[in-house]
């Protein structure tokens, strides 16, 4: 193997076979993927299924708390889990730039293998393309996930109802600020780590032990504020958010203040919003806080009749302001 990715590795010939055996099968191999057929054979899934696909273009490839490989697994596993499903299988497609350091590719594939094992999913099919130097930025990864829906009915952004409580599984803004500070070489008193992590084991517990979950949604691009606007619009209701109840790490709050950013709009890659009837909120918080991925869970607001599609923030000083959706992205290439 060359110490750099060559165009030959995407040719489908002997070089491609070496890349598959010595990198991808070494770290991601399982009985399904090892067949090396043109498609994956799935024989053990039945009933309603959830499918989600996402493409990851993050810069830099390695960041505090993760890398593009683990992020690609967590991101798609979490999207499948947000439909009240148990993720089971992933596909994975790599777009590689000629000249990419082979050690970086090996490290990222190994990270994906660990993340998939931790989530309880298998990568059962994939693809690799190599493009000439300058046609891409090092590496892009597409992952598609499939899982069995265990919630009945499945959670949806259209199912929030007046009287529901709005919960969040943890602190806001960690991922977005971690990427920005690492990208810009900024240093604060405490290192800020991405919150990239899988959420499927926690969402499964919520569905099985609490039930009647109306909405599950992970606030990735656009952060908490944009995601709540999406839910309010889908459900045709108003959401009241309590600013002083939203958990934000002190170092993230300080970094945002320094950089002029709002943590409510920063991306998260290991947190989710849970909306369910208010009388189930205490039980849901108990379940969330007993799990490592939800130990900072909090009740942050309520759904009410109000104006359809509107999110209102009750500030820590007692005032109110509209919390609108961003026109574009505060930080590009964060996931």
Backbone torsions φ then ψ of 289, nearest 5 degrees: -70, -15
Residue 195 to residues 132, 188, 330, Cα–Cα distance (Å): 33, 17, 18
Asked if residue 265 has pLDDT above 90, the reply is yes
Task: Give pLDDT tens digits for 214-246.
Answer: 999 999 999 999 999 999 999 999 999 999 999
Angstrom distance (rounded) from CA 321 to CA 311 = 9
Task: Give 315's pLDDT tier (boundaries 50, 70, 90).
Answer: very high
All structural domains of the chain: 4-149 (3.30.1330.10), 164-323 (3.90.650.10)
- Provide the H-helix boundaries in 168-312: 174-184, 200-209, 223-235, 250-259, 281-289
Give the predicted TM-score (pTM) of the model: 0.96
pLDDT at 326: 81
Would you put residue 142 in left (φ > 0), alpha (ψ -120 to 50) or beta?
Answer: beta
Asked if residue 198 has pLDDT above 80, the reply is yes
pLDDT at 69: 98
Are the beta carbons of 93 and 125 closer than 8 angstroms? no
Are the beta carbons of 326 and 265 closer than 8 angstroms? yes
């Amino acid at each position: 193997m060359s110490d750099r990715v060559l165009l030959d590795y995407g040719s489908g010939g002997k070089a491609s076979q070496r890349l598959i055996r010595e990198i991808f099968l070494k770290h991601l191999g399982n009985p399904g993927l090892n067949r090396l057929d043109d498609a994956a054979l799935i024989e053990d899934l039945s009933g309603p299924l959830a499918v989600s696909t996402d493409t990851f273009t993050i810069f830099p490839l390695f960041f505090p708390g993760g890398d593009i490989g683990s992020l690609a697994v967590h991101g798609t596993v979490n999207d499948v889990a947000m439909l009240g499903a148990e993720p089971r299988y992933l596909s994975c497609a790599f777009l590689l730039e000629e000249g990419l350091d082979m050690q970086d590719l090996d490290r990222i594939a190994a990270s994906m293998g660990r993340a998939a094992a931790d989530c309880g999913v298998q990568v059962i099919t994939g693809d690799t393309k190599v493009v000439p130097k300058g046609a891409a930025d090092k590496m892009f990864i597409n992952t598609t996930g499939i899982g069995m829906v265990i919630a009945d009915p499945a959670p949806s952004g259209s199912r929030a109802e007046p009287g529901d409580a709005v919960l969040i599984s943890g602190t806001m803004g960690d991922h977005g600020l971690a990427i920005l500070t690492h990208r810009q070489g900024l240093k604060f008193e405490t290192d800020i780590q991405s919150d990239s992590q899988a959420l499927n084991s926690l969402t499964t517990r919520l569905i099985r032990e609490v039930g009647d979950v109306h909405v599950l949604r992970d606030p990735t691009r656009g952060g908490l504020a944009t995601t709540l606007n999406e839910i309010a619009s889908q459900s045709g209701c108003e959401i009241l958010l309590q600013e002083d109840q939203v958990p934000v790490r002190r170092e993230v709050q300080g970094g945002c203040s320094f950089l002029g950013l709002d943590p409510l709009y920063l991306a998260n890659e290991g947190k989710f919003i849970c909306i369910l009837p208010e009388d189930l909120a205490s039980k849901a918080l108990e379940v969330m806080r007993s799990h490592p991925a939800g130990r900072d869970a909090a009740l942050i607001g309520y759904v009410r009749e109000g104006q359809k599609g509107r999110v209102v923030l009750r500030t820590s000083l007692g005032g109110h302001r509209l919390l609108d959706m961003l026109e574009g992205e505060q930080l590009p290439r964060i996931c």
